[in-house]
A and B are shown apart, each in its own frame.
Chain A
Amino acid sequence: GAVVSQHPSWVICKSGTSVKIECRSLDFQATTMFWYRQFPKQSLMLMATSNEGSKATYEQGVEKDKFLINHASLTLSTLTVTSAHPEDSSFYICSATPSQGSPYEQYFGPGTRLTVT
């Protein structure tokens, strides 16, 4: 149980275009979903927290107009990187907390590797 999927697994896009990444909880409803980014050989950094039906809360230094997050249902959150630039190239990982059980335990998706050329 507690499986989280992400789509796509990897994506290459040209500078200036937008990319949408989907995060789905497959076998549970998720009250809260989180988005992280990870640079090579570094740890995970939280970008934003999203709750179904409300606006996402962004961490300091994360541009909300660049990284658009939509949490339209209890099983789906999307991250759109708008007007992507090479410095946005990174590994993006989502996580979700089940609405039943511990409200603190997070389950992670397999990640999406974004390369902007």
Chain B
Amino acid sequence: GIQVEQSPPDLILQEGANSTLRCNFSDSVNNLQWFHQNPWGQLINLFYIPSGTKQNGRLSATTVATERYSLLYISSSQTTDSGVYFCAVGVAGSYQLTFGKGTKLSVIP
């Protein structure tokens, strides 16, 4: 099956700093989603972005499908951004998602 690798596995930021999270995948995808899992376990949809670039407030994401990677940018980080960020992908012919192992982000005041 498809492999999904996220980097870095852990990231500690000072409040106000910017960061880039990366997601590499091993095959062509027709679905890519970024999620934030908060400390209570809820997965929050950030972006549905199988290709192209999207922005939502301090967050933006870019997927370069031909090169099999996606980037999530967080600007002016806040303590509430802490949690685990997951990238999940789906391949043609399937509605299933395969998750990466996540990036654990800690934003300190």
Residues of A near B86 (CB, < 8 A) are 43-44
Interface residue? B83 (CB, 8 A): no
Dominant secondary structure of chain A at its interface with chain B: strand
In the bound complex, what is the Cα–Cα distance between A43 and B35 (angstroms)?
A: 12
Smallest CB gap from A49: residue in B: B96
Interface centre among A2, A97, A110 (most CB of B within 10 A): A110
From A18-26, A68-76, A78-86, A100-108, give the one contacting chain B. A100-108
**CB < 8 Å A-B pair total:** 53
Q: Report the contact-size class of chain A (Cβ under 8 Å from the partner).
A: 20 to 34
Q: A43-B101, A46-B96, A97-B95 are in contact. Are A104 and B30 (CB under 8 A)?
A: yes
Smallest CB gap from A36: residue in B: B99
CB distance from A114 to the nearest CB of B (A): 12
Interface residue? A32 (CB, 8 A): yes
Chain B residues packing against A (C-beta within 8 Å): 30-31, 33, 35, 40-43, 45, 48, 50, 86, 88, 90, 95-102
Q: A44-B99, A108-B42 are in contact. List 17 more A-B contacts (CB 8 A).
A: A2-B45, A34-B96, A38-B41, A42-B101, A43-B86, A43-B101, A43-B102, A44-B88, A46-B97, A46-B98, A93-B43, A95-B43, A104-B31, A104-B48, A104-B50, A106-B97, A111-B42
